[in-house]
Amino acid sequence: MLKLYFSPGACAMASHIALEESGALYDAVRIDLKKGEQKTPAYLAINPAGVTPALETERGVITQNAAILGFIAQTRPQQNLAPVGDPFRMARFNAFNGWLGSSLHPAMGRLLFSRPPLEGEARTEAVEAVLVKLQLVEDGLLEGPWVMGDTYTLADGYLMVFERWARGADLLDPGRFAGLNAHLDRVQGRAAVQRVLEAEGLDAV
Protein backbone atom coordinates (compact mmCIF):
# COMPACT_ATOMS: atom_id res chain seq x y z
CA MET A 1 0.00 0.00 0.00
CA LEU A 2 1.09 3.59 -0.57
CA LYS A 3 2.55 5.29 2.51
CA LEU A 4 2.79 9.07 2.80
CA TYR A 5 5.12 10.77 5.26
CA PHE A 6 3.70 14.19 6.05
CA SER A 7 3.94 17.03 8.56
CA PRO A 8 0.67 18.74 9.57
CA GLY A 9 0.07 22.02 7.77
CA ALA A 10 3.32 21.79 5.82
CA CYS A 11 3.69 21.50 2.06
CA ALA A 12 3.13 17.74 2.24
CA MET A 13 -0.54 18.56 2.67
CA ALA A 14 -0.61 18.88 -1.14
CA SER A 15 0.32 15.21 -1.51
CA HIS A 16 -2.02 14.23 1.32
CA ILE A 17 -4.92 15.98 -0.46
CA ALA A 18 -3.92 14.33 -3.74
CA LEU A 19 -4.14 10.86 -2.21
CA GLU A 20 -7.46 11.64 -0.58
CA GLU A 21 -8.91 13.08 -3.81
CA SER A 22 -7.72 10.05 -5.77
CA GLY A 23 -9.52 7.50 -3.62
CA ALA A 24 -6.30 5.46 -3.29
CA LEU A 25 -5.74 3.30 -0.25
CA TYR A 26 -2.84 4.73 1.71
CA ASP A 27 -1.29 5.06 5.15
CA ALA A 28 -0.32 8.49 6.42
CA VAL A 29 2.64 8.70 8.79
CA ARG A 30 3.12 11.93 10.76
CA ILE A 31 6.63 13.38 10.95
CA ASP A 32 7.05 16.07 13.63
CA LEU A 33 9.36 18.70 12.15
CA LYS A 34 9.65 20.59 15.46
CA LYS A 35 10.98 17.43 17.12
CA GLY A 36 13.41 16.91 14.23
CA GLU A 37 11.89 13.58 13.21
CA GLN A 38 12.75 14.37 9.57
CA LYS A 39 16.46 14.08 10.44
CA THR A 40 16.37 10.70 12.23
CA PRO A 41 18.36 7.88 10.62
CA ALA A 42 15.12 5.97 10.06
CA TYR A 43 13.53 8.82 8.08
CA LEU A 44 16.76 9.74 6.27
CA ALA A 45 16.80 6.16 4.98
CA ILE A 46 13.45 6.96 3.33
CA ASN A 47 14.24 10.51 2.17
CA PRO A 48 17.93 11.43 2.47
CA ALA A 49 17.01 15.09 1.95
CA GLY A 50 15.33 15.04 5.39
CA VAL A 51 12.12 16.78 4.35
CA THR A 52 8.48 15.84 3.92
CA PRO A 53 6.65 14.70 1.86
CA ALA A 54 7.89 11.28 0.85
CA LEU A 55 5.65 8.68 -0.75
CA GLU A 56 6.53 5.00 -0.47
CA THR A 57 5.24 3.01 -3.43
CA GLU A 58 5.67 -0.61 -4.41
CA ARG A 59 8.45 0.51 -6.79
CA GLY A 60 10.30 2.78 -4.35
CA VAL A 61 10.09 6.22 -2.79
CA ILE A 62 8.98 9.39 -4.59
CA THR A 63 9.85 12.80 -3.15
CA GLN A 64 8.85 16.34 -4.14
CA ASN A 65 5.20 17.33 -4.18
CA ALA A 66 5.28 18.14 -7.89
CA ALA A 67 6.42 14.60 -8.73
CA ILE A 68 4.04 12.96 -6.28
CA LEU A 69 1.06 14.87 -7.69
CA GLY A 70 1.95 13.84 -11.24
CA PHE A 71 2.35 10.21 -10.15
CA ILE A 72 -1.00 10.09 -8.39
CA ALA A 73 -2.82 11.77 -11.28
CA GLN A 74 -1.24 9.49 -13.90
CA THR A 75 -1.77 6.27 -11.99
CA ARG A 76 -5.49 7.10 -11.56
CA PRO A 77 -6.37 8.83 -14.84
CA GLN A 78 -10.07 8.01 -14.45
CA GLN A 79 -10.20 10.46 -11.52
CA ASN A 80 -9.34 13.38 -13.85
CA LEU A 81 -6.99 15.02 -11.35
CA ALA A 82 -4.65 16.46 -14.03
CA PRO A 83 -4.79 16.79 -17.84
CA VAL A 84 -2.88 13.53 -18.26
CA GLY A 85 -4.06 12.92 -21.83
CA ASP A 86 -2.88 16.29 -23.17
CA PRO A 87 0.92 16.77 -23.24
CA PHE A 88 0.71 20.56 -23.53
CA ARG A 89 -1.75 21.00 -20.68
CA MET A 90 0.18 18.44 -18.62
CA ALA A 91 3.32 20.53 -19.15
CA ARG A 92 1.42 23.57 -17.90
CA PHE A 93 0.28 21.60 -14.84
CA ASN A 94 3.85 20.50 -14.14
CA ALA A 95 5.20 24.01 -14.71
CA PHE A 96 2.78 25.47 -12.21
CA ASN A 97 3.60 22.86 -9.58
CA GLY A 98 7.32 23.23 -10.26
CA TRP A 99 7.03 26.98 -9.79
CA LEU A 100 5.22 26.53 -6.48
CA GLY A 101 8.00 24.26 -5.23
CA SER A 102 10.95 26.25 -6.56
CA SER A 103 9.75 29.84 -6.28
CA LEU A 104 6.71 30.55 -4.10
CA HIS A 105 7.55 27.97 -1.41
CA PRO A 106 11.16 29.14 -0.83
CA ALA A 107 10.06 32.79 -0.73
CA MET A 108 7.35 32.03 1.83
CA GLY A 109 9.61 29.72 3.79
CA ARG A 110 12.26 32.43 4.12
CA LEU A 111 9.69 34.94 5.34
CA LEU A 112 7.78 32.71 7.73
CA PHE A 113 10.27 30.15 8.98
CA SER A 114 13.69 31.85 9.12
CA ARG A 115 15.28 31.33 12.53
CA PRO A 116 15.98 33.79 14.01
CA PRO A 117 12.96 35.53 12.45
CA LEU A 118 13.74 38.18 9.85
CA GLU A 119 13.58 41.77 11.05
CA GLY A 120 13.75 45.27 9.64
CA GLU A 121 14.76 45.69 6.02
CA ALA A 122 15.34 41.96 5.49
CA ARG A 123 11.76 41.27 6.58
CA THR A 124 10.34 44.08 4.44
CA GLU A 125 12.19 42.71 1.40
CA ALA A 126 11.00 39.17 2.12
CA VAL A 127 7.37 40.32 2.43
CA GLU A 128 7.65 42.15 -0.89
CA ALA A 129 9.18 39.10 -2.58
CA VAL A 130 6.22 36.99 -1.45
CA LEU A 131 3.64 39.58 -2.48
CA VAL A 132 5.15 39.86 -5.97
CA LYS A 133 4.80 36.10 -6.42
CA LEU A 134 1.26 36.00 -5.05
CA GLN A 135 0.42 38.80 -7.47
CA LEU A 136 1.69 36.68 -10.37
CA VAL A 137 -0.81 33.98 -9.45
CA GLU A 138 -3.61 36.49 -8.91
CA ASP A 139 -2.94 38.19 -12.25
CA GLY A 140 -2.75 35.17 -14.53
CA LEU A 141 -1.20 31.94 -13.28
CA LEU A 142 -4.56 31.09 -11.74
CA GLU A 143 -6.77 30.55 -14.79
CA GLY A 144 -9.89 30.54 -12.62
CA PRO A 145 -11.90 29.39 -10.96
CA TRP A 146 -9.32 26.60 -10.58
CA VAL A 147 -5.61 26.74 -11.37
CA MET A 148 -6.13 24.95 -14.71
CA GLY A 149 -9.43 26.65 -15.57
CA ASP A 150 -12.81 24.98 -15.29
CA THR A 151 -11.64 21.72 -13.75
CA TYR A 152 -10.18 21.05 -10.31
CA THR A 153 -6.71 19.47 -10.48
CA LEU A 154 -4.14 18.48 -7.89
CA ALA A 155 -2.39 21.82 -8.48
CA ASP A 156 -5.26 23.43 -6.57
CA GLY A 157 -4.50 21.55 -3.37
CA TYR A 158 -0.82 22.48 -3.71
CA LEU A 159 -1.55 26.20 -4.20
CA MET A 160 -3.94 26.05 -1.24
CA VAL A 161 -1.11 25.19 1.15
CA PHE A 162 0.60 28.51 0.42
CA GLU A 163 -2.66 30.44 0.41
CA ARG A 164 -3.27 29.08 3.93
CA TRP A 165 0.18 30.19 5.04
CA ALA A 166 -0.38 33.61 3.44
CA ARG A 167 -3.79 34.11 5.05
CA GLY A 168 -2.40 32.97 8.41
CA ALA A 169 0.32 35.62 8.11
CA ASP A 170 -2.13 38.38 7.07
CA LEU A 171 -0.60 38.57 3.60
CA LEU A 172 -3.76 37.73 1.67
CA ASP A 173 -5.44 41.14 1.58
CA PRO A 174 -8.93 40.45 0.15
CA GLY A 175 -8.87 43.75 -1.78
CA ARG A 176 -5.63 42.91 -3.57
CA PHE A 177 -5.99 39.12 -3.79
CA ALA A 178 -9.69 38.50 -4.39
CA GLY A 179 -8.98 35.54 -6.69
CA LEU A 180 -6.63 33.82 -4.28
CA ASN A 181 -9.01 34.32 -1.36
CA ALA A 182 -11.93 32.87 -3.33
CA HIS A 183 -9.73 29.99 -4.48
CA LEU A 184 -8.62 29.17 -0.94
CA ASP A 185 -12.21 29.11 0.29
CA ARG A 186 -13.27 26.96 -2.67
CA VAL A 187 -10.51 24.39 -2.09
CA GLN A 188 -11.09 24.27 1.67
CA GLY A 189 -14.76 23.58 0.95
CA ARG A 190 -13.98 20.30 -0.81
CA ALA A 191 -14.90 17.14 1.08
CA ALA A 192 -11.51 15.48 0.50
CA VAL A 193 -9.69 18.57 1.73
CA GLN A 194 -11.83 18.71 4.85
CA ARG A 195 -10.96 15.08 5.58
CA VAL A 196 -7.26 15.89 5.24
CA LEU A 197 -7.53 18.94 7.51
CA GLU A 198 -9.22 16.77 10.12
CA ALA A 199 -6.63 14.01 9.76
CA GLU A 200 -3.84 16.61 10.22
CA GLY A 201 -5.62 18.12 13.24
CA LEU A 202 -6.19 21.49 11.55
CA ASP A 203 -9.08 23.85 10.91
CA ALA A 204 -9.88 25.76 7.76
CA VAL A 205 -8.31 29.23 7.95
Residues contributing to the site for ligand GSH (CB under 6 A):
7, 10-11, 33, 38, 50-53, 63-65, 101, 105
Element at 163 (helix H, strand E): helix 154-168
Q: Is 64 left (phi over 0), alpha (psi -120 to 50) or beta?
A: left
Q: How far is the CB of 82 from ligand GSH (least distance, A)?
A: 16
Q: How far is the CB of 150 from ligand GSH (least distance, A)?
A: 26
Please say which residue, 6 or 177, places its beta carbon nearer to ligand GSH.
6
Residue with Cβ nearer ligand GSH (56 or 150): 56
Considering the complex, state which of residue 10 and residue 126 has its C-beta at the smaller distance from ligand GSH.
10
Q: Compare residues 22 and 52 and give the one whose CB is closer to ligand GSH.
A: 52
* Main-chain phi, psi angles of 3, to 5 degrees: -135, 120
For strands 26-30 and 2-6, give the pairing: parallel
CA–CA gap between residue 11 and residue 15 (Å, rounded): 8
Least gap, CB of 105 to ligand GSH (angstroms): 6
List of residues 6+ apart from 50 with CB closer than 8 A: 38, 39, 43, 44
CB of 109 to ligand GSH, least distance (A): 7
